[in-house]
Structure 1
Amino acid sequence: MPAQSTATSSAPRKETPKPVRAYLFLYNLVNLAMWATCTVRGLLLLIKQTPPADNLPTIFHEVYWPLLAVTQTLAGLEVLHSLVGFVRAPVMTTFMQVASRFLVVWGVMYPFHEGSLFVDYGEGIVGGDPIKGAKLGDYAFLGCLFSWGVTECIRYGFFALQLGGFFVPKWWMWLRYNAFFVLYPTGISSECALIWSSLDAAGKIHPLYRWFLIAMLVIYVPGSYILYTHMMAQRRRVLRGKSRVD
């Protein structure tokens, strides 16, 4: 599930020691720069495409390894931040978000990034035979990339401004607590489509791996509801002027 949700946060607790605050500021700033790089690079590659976008698989290979993989892996530190009390994020919701992203990035994208999931139906971009659903995987990857990228630029930028003591524009605050209405559904649907498109390839690795991914799709339903309602509750608290719990 996309970390575009407001559940996972890098907002510090009150009376946070200066060294911790400085570390969180740098953490958010680095993540902002990396996610902006992923998003802009993907957008520029997409703009270069010519109808009917025959070379969409090249975007995955240009962006995923190692840029997107490393960028998303940094989110694992957010679970640690929550556990040690650096931030106010609930441990469980933070873990759920990070785990779902790791599933997609390392459990789906990585096993097939040099295989046959993201290849063209023509000559192909990498080795392996094209499989059913490869085109769905291409578009699903783009949905993940841009839903994640826009969300994370908003989120990490928001906290970098806060932690750095800078003014946070009202429009940025509005995006922070409203963009998820659009970005969460597009991110979730793209993640599910990507997992779905990988089922045949996963079955070639091992039948149990295919069933594992199917089980994860089933878990996405209640998991998405929990995180989405959590984000809506946070938004209501912020609009009412109460302190956030993220």
Structure 2
Amino acid sequence: MKAYLLLYNFSQLLCNGSLFIFCLLYGPILFYNNPKVELIFKFSQTFMILEIVHSLIKISPSPFIPTLMQVISRVWVVFGVMDLARDSFWIFMVGLMWSMAEIIRYSHYIAMLFKKTPKSLLWARYSGFIILYPVGVFSELRVLYDAYPVIERCCPRVFSFEMPNEWNISFDYMYAIWIMAIPGYVFGFPFLYSYMLSQRKRKLSKLD
């Protein structure tokens, strides 16, 4: 199991390290319109679904509910929003914030597997999010804001379907954003942020 977790965490570290380098190389204008960047974005976030399984079967210390919330949110942003606002500056900011946070997180996980976590890495793991997480969430919302005119104009063609159809159900993507995604940010962000602050207090107390 250690070998599997090492492979998974190293793969994610490689993906997010590449994403960070692409942020520096391409800048905000050309960033998401590069096929390699889009591929890494979608692969790494889809790959994160495994972390839900890791938490569920207890091979990871990450708690299930916060992990589920974060992964679902990211997969939705990548597949349900970014493609509708490909020229948004804020996609670059999402990539920058996510990649920096994940480079720290996966480096920490790898160090934990070897039971050799430097104090500086432990501090970065439980302090970096203080800036990276709120800026990342704000950037995600700005991407959604930039994508919203496309969603509004193109519904029901974008991720929506109307009756009659063979399943006899209808789904309005724009309506779903208002009743699920927006409340998810309003209530989910304070929950996750306060959880991480409590984790920070507990983990960094060991450095004293």
* TM-score, normalised relative to structure 2: 0.85
Which one-letter code corresponds to 1:239 in the other structure? Answer: L
Matches within 5 A, 1:133-172: 138-165=88-115, 167-172=116-121
The residue number in structure 2 matching 1:42 is 23
Runs of 5+ in structure 2 lacking a partner?
157-171
CA shift for structure 1 position 45: 1.0
CA distance in 2, matches of 1:104, 1:171: 31
CA RMSD of aligned residues (A): 1.7
CA shift for structure 1 position 225: 0.4
Deviations 1:140-159 (A, max 9, x none): 11110010000000000111
The residue number in structure 1 matching 2:165 is none
Seq. identity, %: 31
Relative contact order (alpha carbons < 8 A, sep ≥ 6): 1 or 2 greater? 1
- Whether the 8 Å CA contact 1:177–1:235 is kept in 2: the answer is yes
Aligned pairs, how many? 190
- Whether the 8 Å CA contact 2:22–2:37 is kept in 1: the answer is no
- Whether the 8 Å CA contact 2:16–2:102 is kept in 1: the answer is yes
Aligned residue for 2:206, secondary structure, equals: coil
Q: 1:212 aligns with which of 176, 187, 190?
A: 176
The residue number in structure 1 matching 2:31 is 59
- Whether the 8 Å CA contact 1:195–1:217 is kept in 2: the answer is no
Which one-letter code corresponds to 1:150 in the other structure? Answer: M
Matches within 5 A, 1:1-246: 20-46=1-27, 56=29, 58-62=30-34, 63-110=36-83, 112=84, 117-119=85-87, 138-165=88-115, 167-206=116-155, 208-215=172-179, 216-241=181-206
CA distance in 2, matches of 1:193, 1:84: 35
Deviations 1:150-180 (A, max 9, x none): 0000000111122134x33222111101011
Taking a change above 3 Å as real, the CA distance of residues 205 and 164 of structure 1, as seen in their structure-2 partners, is farther
The residue number in structure 1 matching 2:169 is none
